[in-house]
Structure formats: C-alpha cells, structure tokens
C-alpha cells in the first residue's frame, strides 16, 4: 500500500494559520478514526501532536488541531511560530495485513 498523500511543503508567516492535508482512501482514513499527527523538528525525534483524529495529548499546545472529512485528514496549526518549522507526518490505521501507514511528510516553513 502506498503512503498517505501529503503536500511536500507548506509555508506561512508568524501568527498565521496553516493546514496540512493527508489523503487516504475509504479503507483507511475514510473508514477508521485512528489518525494521528507527528511533528519532527530538525535533528529531533518525532512528537505526537494529535490522535484519534481530534484528541490532543497532555502538554501539546492547543494551537495544533486535527480534523477529518471523508478520506482526508487535516492538521491545522494556528498562530504560527518560528519554532514550528519542521516536518509533519500523518499516520493511520488501515485494517489490512500491514495495518499502519504514514504519510509522506510535509515540510513546514515559517517565512
């Protein structure tokens, strides 16, 4: 199964909001609500931002929010800050014999 589809890059200015999309199929994102998002800052280990589409772990800023419509999940980052610059990955359950899959990743640039 191919990776979930994310835009290669997005950008925004400090204080603005950006949304990163993650497109799957009716067999993964469209069927299950087990979608999570991860932030990987340069040289760092990935960090969980949201899970079960909309839930946020304790300690994660409310500036990060997840949503889903049909076969597409989205991560919205509001009030962009310079320290948000890095890569973002979606992750979904697929229900197949290889049941988990990442998106290809999106590089966020804060202008």
Partner 1 sequence: EVQLLESGGGLVQPGGSLRLSCVTSDFAFRSHAMHWVRQAPGRGLEWVSFISESGSTTSYAASVKGRFTISRDNFKNSVFLQMSPLRAEDTAVYYCVRDLILGALDHWGQGALVTVAP
Residue 82 three-state SS: helix
> Is residue 77 close enough to count as binding partner 1 by CB under 8 A?
no
Token reading at 7: 């835009």
> Contact, 48 vs 68, CB < 8 A?
no
CA end-to-end span of the chain: 34
Smallest gap from Cβ 26 to partner 1, in A, equals: 18
> Is residue 86 close enough to count as binding partner 1 by CB under 8 A?
no
Could you tell me which residues are beta bridge partners of residue 20?
75
From 43, 45, 62, 83, residue interacting with partner 1 (rule: CB under 8 A):
45
Q: Phi and psi at residue 46, in whole multiples of 5°?
A: -60, 150
> Is residue 66 close enough to count as binding partner 1 by CB under 8 A?
no
> Is residue 82 close enough to count as binding partner 1 by CB under 8 A?
no
> Is residue 93 close enough to count as binding partner 1 by CB under 8 A?
yes
Smallest gap from Cβ 91 to partner 1, in A, equals: 6
Q: Given phi > 0 = left and psi -120 to 50 = alpha, else beta, which region is 22?
A: beta
* Interacting residue ranges for partner 1, rule: CB under 8 A: 1, 3, 34, 36, 38, 40, 45-48, 51-52, 55, 57, 87, 89, 91-93, 97-105
């Amino acid at each position: 199964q191919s990776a979930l589809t994310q835009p290669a890059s997005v950008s925004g200015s400090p204080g603005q909001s950006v949304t990163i999309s993650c497109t799957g199929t009716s067999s993964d994102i469209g069927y299950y609500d087990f979608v999570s998002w991860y932030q990987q800052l340069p040289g760092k280990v990935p960090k969980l931002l949201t899970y079960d589409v909309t839930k946020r772990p304790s300690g994660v800023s409310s500036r990060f929010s997840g949503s889903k419509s049909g076969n597409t999940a989205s991560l919205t980052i509001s009030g962009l800050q310079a320290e948000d610059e890095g890569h973002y990955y979606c992750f979904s359950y697929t229900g197949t014999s290889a049941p988990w899959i990442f998106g290809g990743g999106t590089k966020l640039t804060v202008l």
